[in-house]
């Protein structure tokens, strides 16, 4: 059985992304992320941040998302 107490939540990711976006000076904020209903056995990120899909500063956003997915590959609601 998987110990769910050590898996970060979607709220942890939202807080992290918003702190990072503020730190790099972007006005964008995330209110929620989309979480797949399972833990991926390939250990790929099971979440997306669709609110950031249309942000013009793609290079910065992609770098922040890459880093966040490395820190939070698997999250729960």
Say what the pLDDT of residue 38 is.
72
- What local confidence, expressed as pLDDT, does residue 4 receive? 59
Per-residue pLDDT, 19: 98
Positive or negative: CA dihedral 18, 58, 77, 42: negative
Residues near 24 by beta carbon (within 8 Å), at least 6 away in sequence: 60, 64
Per run of 10 residues, the mean pLDDT along the chain (length 77 residues) is 72 98 97 85 85 96 96 90
Instruction: Measure CA 48 to chain center.
Output: 6
- pLDDT value for 39: 67
| pTM across the whole model | 0.86
């Amino acid at each position: 059985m998987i110990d769910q107490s050590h898996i970060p939540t979607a709220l942890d990711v939202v807080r992290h992304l918003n702190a990072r976006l503020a730190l790099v000076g972007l006005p964008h904020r995330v209110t929620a992320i989309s979480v797949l209903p399972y833990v991926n056995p390939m250990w790929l990120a099971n979440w997306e941040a669709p609110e950031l899909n249309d942000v013009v500063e793609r290079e910065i956003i992609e770098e922040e998302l890459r880093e966040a997915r490395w820190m939070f590959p698997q999250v729960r609601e």
